[in-house]
Amino acid sequence: MVFENNLSFAKSLDKQDELKLYREKFFFPQHENKNVIYFTGNSLGLQPKNTQHYLQQELDDWGKYGVEGHFLAKNPWLSYHELLTNKMAKIVGALPEETVMMNQLTVNLHLLLVSFYRPTKNRYKILCESKAFPSDQYALQSQLKFHGFNPDEALIEIEPRPGEYHIREEDIYKTIEDNKNTLALIMIGGVNYFTGQVFDMKSITQAGHNVGAIVGFDLAHAAGNLQLELHNWDVDFAVWCSYKYLNSGPGGVAGAFVHEKHLKNTTIPQFAGWWGHDKETRFLMDSKFMPIQTAERWQLSNAPVLSMAACRASLDIFDELGMPALDKKSKLLTAYLEFIIDEINVEKNNCLQIITPKNNRGCQLSIVAHGYGKSLYNQLIESGVIPDWREPNVIRCAPVPLYNSFEDIFRFGEILKKILN
């Protein structure tokens, strides 16, 4: 498509947008009585207007039934988490039995590392991307130490080449090959939170399996952003949060995936709790743990129903739409943002460098503003734009197909130009 940098063109794209009505389903923070230009759905998704109704239902039933709400609530709490499973599974390309919503992301990462990082004397190394999200780095380092290894030696971090911003996939495959006898686990963010680089999860999984390693992904920036096929790609395990692209609210309940092939393997060690116990006999309160033969096996505690109610509100929207429709709009929106940035660069001496790889990205663009500091971000905020700022000079913008418009992007360009002038 040939883009134009003017308001009527942006409006015409919005008019043709099949998802345009979904914008109305979300609350936007206000700036001078207008919706802000919200580009931080990759950090905290906006609140669906319906969320309060989902929460109110559970509050009402709690008020009405007390403890009996576990059975008598309209959506009985005993099995409440099951209401999320099918919809979540569809979003990440998993079978329902491979998917469970529980805890929070870093907790789930630790729980699945307990099961899937099982080092031996010779095969103990973990491979991840450099500058992974800090929580992932801490989780991996602490797991290594827990097993008696030195992270400085046992954690391999693949870096971009000098002078480059993102990691070349060929370097990943070479590192896997170079460590083929010592590599126990590959654990990479499916989308790097800083650069927005998307990794080829299918090929990395295959390359890992070829040398005998287990492969897991952190999908915090991928779930609800990209079309995923965790089952078909043969990924061993994955974890993600739901408060970014999945709009479940601050600290919302997280997701976990374990491939079907591992579900019935009772030799896999795990940390256990009563909610992972066979449902038929759970309330016999027997002392012997009998794992459920689905991903629910990794559940520890009974489900956080209020948090899950908020998550359901958003998953129902995703279910109605489907990832293919979102993906289609996402590509066009992000391409339009790229076009607008390129237009500004023509006038402003290429001061804005997009470091997100053109052919491996979701909706996020990470932009280095050469010669500018945090005051640029502050001025954007004062002008009614909410992007995200990473020191020293990176602006991350995530136009989210569910609720961002082409007009948002045009207006962002106008504001940015004015500030740079």
Interaction site with ligand PLP (CB under 6 A): 104-106, 133, 135-136, 189, 193, 218, 220-221, 241
**Closest to ligand PLP by CB, 131 or 331:** 131
Instruction: Give the CB-side neighbour count of residue 370, counting CA atoms within 13 A.
Output: 9
- In this structure, the dihedral spanned by the alpha carbons of residues 337, 341, 344 and 350, taken in order and rounded to 10 degrees, is -170
**Closest to ligand PLP by CB, 131 or 348:** 131
Tell me how far, at minimum, the Cβ of 364 lies from ligand PLP, in Å.
Answer: 11
| Widest distance between CA atoms in the chain | 72
**Closest to ligand PLP by CB, 239 or 303:** 239
Tell me how far, at minimum, the Cβ of 133 lies from ligand PLP, in Å.
Answer: 3
**Closest to ligand PLP by CB, 221 or 396:** 221
Q: Which of 366, 334, 392, 378 is nearest to 194 (CA)?
A: 366
Q: Which of 235, 266, 264, 240 is nearest to 252 (CA)?
A: 240
**Phi and psi of 47, rounded to 5°?**
-85, 120
- Under DSSP, is residue 400 helix (H, G, I), strand (E, B) or coil? coil
R_g over Cα of the chain: 22
Tell me how far, at minimum, the Cβ of 105 lies from ligand PLP, in Å.
Answer: 4
Would residue 55 be called left, alpha or beta, if left means φ above 0 and alpha means ψ between -120 and 50 degrees?
Answer: alpha
**Closest to ligand PLP by CB, 46 or 263:** 46
Tell me how far, at minimum, the Cβ of 254 lies from ligand PLP, in Å.
Answer: 6
Tell me how far, at minimum, the Cβ of 41 lies from ligand PLP, in Å.
Answer: 12
DSSP 119-136: --SS--EEEEETT--HHH
**Closest to ligand PLP by CB, 221 or 361:** 221
Tell me how far, at minimum, the Cβ of 241 lies from ligand PLP, in Å.
Answer: 4
